[in-house]
Structure 1
Amino acid sequence: MLDALNQARVLPAPKLWRRLSSLPMLSYYNRLFALVLACNVGAIGLEPDLSTMVLINLSLATLVRQQYLINGLFWLATRVPVTWPLWIRCRAAKVYHFGGLHSGGAVAATGWLIAMVGDQVAMHLRAPGSVPPTALWWSVVLLAGLLMMIIMALPWVRGRFHNGFERVHRFAGWGVLLVFWGQTLSALANPLHSGTFWMLVVLTVSIALPWLRLRKVAIDTARPSSHAVIARFSHTTPFTGSSTAISLSPLLEWHSFANIPSPGQPGFRLIISRAGDWTGQFIEQLPAHVWVKGITTAGVANVETLFTSVLYIATGSGIGPVMPHLLAGKVPARLIWSTRSPRKTYGDALVDEILQAQPQALIWDSDELGKPDLVQLAYGAVQAFGVEAVICIANQGVTRRVVQELGARGIPAYGAIWDS
């Protein structure tokens, strides 16, 4: 494979309009975010009820993160047949940018709530007693919770204080829901006849569903190196392209990893690489049990079925999300995997399994060969093998560079976006 790539053409300069359209600020995530805000700005002219607009946007922000809905969105998007024009399939593959709806809804809800609190304060100042003190305090507490969640979700804050972000989102989110319940029940004489009441029921069930499936499961672990652990689960067999969230302290911290089911075999594996305190502790202690909740959830690599062929680019433990697709073989694929000492780090068995599924794979040992130019390698593979799309599973910087540089040259490219 490397010989074929070396014979490929030199990476061309992108056209200006493609370079601009591939900029992160114009991503589908940001377009969906802007669309939600635009719809809310348009609604101002209709003079809607402020509390209703808060609830509508909070409902959007909450429900679009529900695992069943996420799987449904991926299922719907990947129903587009490969016989349809490429430009339609490329846009359907952007389904994983749905987080823009979540962020847009949360920001819009906060904006409407600021307006509502401002209106209540103004009414109170004009006519003391016109607004019940309880209602005003409910609104202030609700606003404080939403502002705290938005601040912690800012990319630079989330990246630096990820555990804090996760806990604030969980506990403040629950608090916001409880406050909304209190505010609603105290204001309604007959809640059963209120749309707000039933919307809150839907949101409560949506949030509770994953926790109703909370369970502690046994795992078997193998530690091929001090950098990685392969954990085997037997309690269920997930679908290809899904992920599972696991925890050692279910109220405090959760981490998602790509499921690796083997065709025809029950159970699945997770590759857990050292990437921080939690993963380091996991590798050192090798727990016999972990907590799982919710259902397995679709990930970005599921968009492969929208294309006649794909090139997978993976670095390090990014091979985890890619491997189940290679084993399933639903779509003709090529693989470029860059990692440090693959056999030493992940074990001979895993590497041999990958090569059995992908004999032509390029496994780049960065300890021996140095860091590769993945954009050049990807472009060479696209030209040499005629693949329709590229899916990159790497760290944030590499993924963004590969997706942006290939997109700027008209090559459909996809990768995780680390949205909030």
Structure 2
Amino acid sequence: MTATLTPAPGSLRARLKRRPWTHHNRLAAAVVLLNAVVAVMAGPDLDVLTGLVLGNLTLAVLIRQQLVINLLFRLATAASLRRSLRWRWTLGKVYHFGGLHVGGAVCATAWFLVLTGTLTVRGAPAPLILVSWVIAGVLAVMVAAALPRVRARRHDLFERSHRFGGWTLLVLFALHAVLLADAAGKRFIGSAAFWVLLVVVTSVALPWLRLRRVPVRISSPSPHVALLSFDYGVTPFAGSSTALSRNPLLEWHSFANVPAPGRTGFRLTVSRAGDWTGALIDDRPSHLWVKGIPTAGVGNIDKLFRRVVWVATGSGIGPCLPHLLSGETPARLVWSTRHPRRTYGDALVDEILAVQPGAVVWDTDSAGKPDLVELALEAHRDFAAEAVICISNKKTTWHVVEELEARGIPAFGAIWDS
């Protein structure tokens, strides 16, 4: 039997399970608080300001590096199942690491504005002041484009401002560091700024060094779905994702990998959810661009628990499938979708039922929209599960996760922080 962790209705603990008190926001707040403590203790010295900018910039970039992300997940999921459920529940929130990125980026921008103002007031050389204000402007644009409402409505603007703005900043920061060192009568080569920038540039460049155009086989069991098959020498691990593009300089989309035990390559399930996915389903290109390495995602945390319930809607079945096929963690599936066989094909549905004969497959065409929270609660109780993982759209995922967590059930799902 699982431990009873149900908080009292309306209790502080129950309220802290809902937005805005997410682990993502807590991590961002922790970074801001740490910055404030360091600033108070060290004082407003020019070297301190420079160090704060570099430290926060490094955090913001490295925490998004694929190798670092995979390391974080490996460390978090290495915990023994003998550890307390509450401890494993907390470790399962590792995918909220984006809060460190947000905190670092915001603090780096704030401290750089203070640094720029200080250099201007102190009458630094004109080229240094000019470059400083240009950097400050680019940083401000990137932060504004990353605001949740802007990012949701203008995701292409967010993505391109971060990509091209980020590359521009690398050049400008290097120039700024050279000018700042020259103004202080110091050498740039071998300085702290030199090594930090070298690490940051390497981190940004690594995924692009693995950029390649690979063949893909695409089938569409219905106009709503495309099933993509890849076999170009990479067999990713369950719980990972791959970034795809048709134009690598402009647009990237990440999808959960579906490797099958004993087979090379992997599959992806893509639903029609916008212009890019719609064109992919309709055009069926013979090749797509991939970059970097398979990167761990929220599904990876299933290994922290003895038994889990997977709740999926529509093509959210894709990220669940590799875990169901591997059977490493005993699982129960709750899948809500429009006419599953007509939409996804008999082969995929039969493959799922072969490993999940007790699955709850809810056909929304015939049964209407279900109460996923209630279905998850029933499956969690009947299967004696320790946790629930929800793979759905943003609104549904947040609703299911928050409602379950407010009832004391460890629940996990994507947070759309990138």
Q: State the TM-score, normalized to the length of structure 2.
A: 0.95
Q: Would the aligned equivalents of 2:334 and 2:359 in 1 still touch at CA under 8 Å?
A: yes
Q: Which moved more, 1:207-216 or 1:18-27?
A: 18-27
Instruction: Identify the residue that residue 200 of structure 1 maps to in structure 2.
Output: 197
Alpha-carbon distance in structure 1 between the residues aligned to 2:194 and 2:241 = 33
Q: Which moved more, 1:140-149 or 1:189-198?
A: 189-198
Provide, for residues 141-179 of structure 1, a one-character-per-residue CA deviation record: whole Å limited to 9, x for no partner. Answer: 111111111111111110101111100000001111110
What letter corresponds to residue 71 of structure 1 in structure 2?
N
Q: Would the aligned equivalents of 2:8 and 2:14 in 1 still touch at CA under 8 Å?
A: no
Equivalent residues in 2 for 1:187-336 (5 A)? Answer: 187-188=180-181, 189-235=186-232, 236-336=234-334
Instruction: Identify the residue that residue 126 of structure 2 maps to in structure 1.
Output: 133
Match of 1:174, SS state, is helix
Alpha-carbon distance in structure 2 between the residues aligned to 1:134 and 1:204 = 23
What letter corresponds to residue 85 of structure 2 in structure 1?
L
What letter corresponds to residue 28 of structure 1 in structure 2?
H
What letter corresponds to residue 177 of structure 1 in structure 2?
L
What letter corresponds to residue 184 of structure 1 in structure 2?
A
- Deviation of 1:245 (Å): 0.2
Q: Would the aligned equivalents of 1:15 and 1:409 in 2 still touch at CA under 8 Å?
A: no
State the percentage of identical aligned residues: 52
- Deviation of 1:13 (Å): 8.2
Instruction: Identify the residue that residue 63 of structure 1 maps to in structure 2.
Output: 62
Q: Would the aligned equivalents of 1:77 and 1:93 in 2 still touch at CA under 8 Å?
A: yes
Alpha-carbon distance in structure 2 between the residues aligned to 1:120 and 1:185 = 15
Match of 1:295, SS state, is strand
What letter corresponds to residue 201 of structure 2 in structure 1?
T
Alpha-carbon distance in structure 1 between the residues aligned to 2:8 and 2:373 = 13
Change (3 A) 1:109 1:12: closer
Is residue 81 from structure 1 mapped to residue 85 from structure 2 by the alignment? no
Greater relative contact order (CA < 8 Å, ≥ 6 in sequence): 1
Alpha-carbon distance in structure 2 between the residues aligned to 1:387 and 1:37 = 37
Instruction: Identify the residue that residue 16 of structure 1 maps to in structure 2.
Output: 11
Is residue 94 from structure 1 mapped to residue 93 from structure 2 by the alignment? yes
Q: Would the aligned equivalents of 1:18 and 1:407 in 2 still touch at CA under 8 Å?
A: no
Alpha-carbon distance in structure 1 between the residues aligned to 2:9 and 2:271 = 35
Q: Would the aligned equivalents of 1:314 and 1:393 in 2 still touch at CA under 8 Å?
A: yes
Instruction: Identify the residue that residue 108 of structure 2 maps to in structure 1.
Output: 109
- Deviation of 1:24 (Å): 1.2
Match of 1:293, SS state, is strand
Alpha-carbon distance in structure 2 between the residues aligned to 1:151 and 1:389 = 36
Unaligned runs of 5+ in 2: 1-5
Alpha-carbon distance in structure 1 between the residues aligned to 2:331 and 2:249 = 40
Q: Which moved more, 1:75-84 or 1:183-192?
A: 183-192
Instruction: Identify the residue that residue 375 of structure 1 maps to in structure 2.
Output: 373
What letter corresponds to residue 37 of structure 1 in structure 2?
V
What letter corresponds to residue 388 of structure 2 in structure 1?
V
What letter corresponds to residue 168 of structure 2 in structure 1?
G
Change (3 A) 1:12 1:180: closer
Change (3 A) 1:66 1:12: closer
Provide, for residues 357-412 of structure 1, a one-character-per-residue CA deviation record: whole Å limited to 9, x for no partner. Answer: 11111111111111100001111111222100000000001111111001011000
- Deviation of 1:18 (Å): 3.4
Match of 1:264, SS state, is coil
Alpha-carbon distance in structure 1 between the residues aligned to 2:215 and 2:66 = 23
What letter corresponds to residue 176 of structure 1 in structure 2?
L
Instruction: Identify the residue that residue 8 of structure 1 maps to in structure 2.
Output: none
What letter corresponds to residue 20 of structure 1 in structure 2?
R
Match of 2:329, SS state, is coil
Provide, for residues 240-289 of structure 1, a one-character-per-residue CA deviation record: whole Å limited to 9, x for no partner. Answer: 11000000000000000000000000110011110000001111100000
Match of 1:256, SS state, is strand
Instruction: Identify the residue that residue 3 of structure 2 maps to in structure 1.
Output: none
Alpha-carbon distance in structure 1 between the residues aligned to 2:209 and 2:357 = 43
What letter corresponds to residue 82 of structure 2 in structure 1?
T
Aligned residue pair count: 404
Q: Would the aligned equivalents of 2:59 and 2:100 in 1 still touch at CA under 8 Å?
A: yes
What letter corresponds to residue 17 of structure 1 in structure 2?
L
Alpha-carbon distance in structure 1 between the residues aligned to 2:192 and 2:352 = 53
Provide, for residues 275-310 of structure 1, a one-character-per-residue CA deviation record: whole Å limited to 9, x for no partner. Answer: 000001111100000000000000101100110000
Alpha-carbon distance in structure 2 between the residues aligned to 1:372 and 1:24 = 23
Match of 1:193, SS state, is coil
Q: Would the aligned equivalents of 2:7 and 2:406 in 1 still touch at CA under 8 Å?
A: no
- Deviation of 1:40 (Å): 0.6
Equivalent residues in 2 for 1:358-397 (5 A)? Answer: 358-397=356-395
Q: State the TM-score, normalized to the length of structure 1.
A: 0.94
Please, which of 149, 159, 162 is the counterpart of residue 169 of structure 1?
Answer: 162
Please, which of 24, 31, 38 is the counterpart of residue 36 of structure 1?
Answer: 31
Instruction: Identify the residue that residue 7 of structure 1 maps to in structure 2.
Output: none
Provide, for residues 22-61 of structure 1, a one-character-per-residue CA deviation record: whole Å limited to 9, x for no partner. Answer: 1211111111000000011111221252122111101100
Alpha-carbon distance in structure 1 between the residues aligned to 2:178 and 2:115 = 18
Unaligned runs of 5+ in 1: 1-10, 124-129
Change (3 A) 1:372 1:13: farther
- Deviation of 1:98 (Å): 0.3
